[in-house]
Structure 1
Amino acid sequence: MDSWQYIVLVGAVVAVGALAMPRKKAESAEAPQSVRNMETALDQFMENMEKDNEQLIQLIAESQQAAKQEGESKDKRIATLEERCGQLEKLLQETLVKPAAARLREDQPSSGAMTGQADALSAPQAGQSGVVESAAQDQSPKPNSIHDRYSELFRLYAEGKSIEAIAKKLGMNKGEVQLIIGLSKQEGTL
């Protein structure tokens, strides 16, 4: 036999052997199994996600309810504190302001201006703290105000110097100078 005949004969044997092998059937059987495994894994993943979502929703609902209860308890406490504050203001009015007004009347009965001030102190007003403050101001001299503490700053400001120039001259920060001027405006001394 010639060599080409051997080649043809070997090729035919290889072709018949390739057709006869059951490999493709085994691969096709494995493919549906891997698909089933993937579907099972996805189903488990979805179940786990649903459980996690339910737990998260429950946790959020519990935290909202806890926040609502905490808010209600704080509102009740604020109302109680406001009521106590009102009672303390009335007590302060009775113990400090009214006796101070009575002393002013006793000390200066002939002076109409002082009697008017004493009546104004003893008259009930909407802002009890304003009454207490005015009585305290009448009885004691005002402690050194912000204007007294920073007289050089306010002198420069009154001269029309800029905030930057004042800060540079006094060795202060620009924000500090602005804060002092703002506080003075609130205090009413500027």
Structure 2
Amino acid sequence: MDAWQYIVLLGAVVVVFAIILPKRTGSSGASGQSSQNMETALEQFMENMERDNEELVELVKSSQQSNRKEHAVFEKRISELELRCQELDGQLQAAATFIKETAASRQAAPAPHSTAAKALEKNETAMEQPTSPHSIEARYGELFTLYREGKSIESIAKKLGMNKGEVSLIIGLAKQEGGVHG
């Protein structure tokens, strides 16, 4: 039983005792007036309790509705983020495949004999180094500094204002490039 039901039951018991008690004692009309006042007060109390309970029920209903709406919004957002993660994963895999194919084609190419070919090879080696302006690590220096400090991908993404998938993709590409260990 709820608390309000106990209160109503207690009020009914008090009303019954108030009606019976004056008859037993044989009191005059003054006690009848006080019992009538008590009945009126109890009726008002019960009406107030009912009104309060109705307001509480409405409040609970409205909060449930708002929770359902928020839940639907969150579910939609989660599904969109999952799709975005799948897209980024596909891009990461495509980039990794491209890097592997490029590395394999470089290994399969015949060794250069001319001076121009040696200079070209030297430039390619310089581009692969993390300090090269074309390397991933050079372009995202702050990201890799935070990553080496042991920060999580979520905290890096928050600090730099990026998506977690984007941070994961950059780190994955850098690992493929050979510039980051961790």
Q: TM-score, normalised by structure 2?
A: 0.47
Q: TM-score, normalised by structure 1?
A: 0.45
Say which structure, 1 or 2, has more relative contact order (CA 8 Å, 6+ apart). Answer: 2
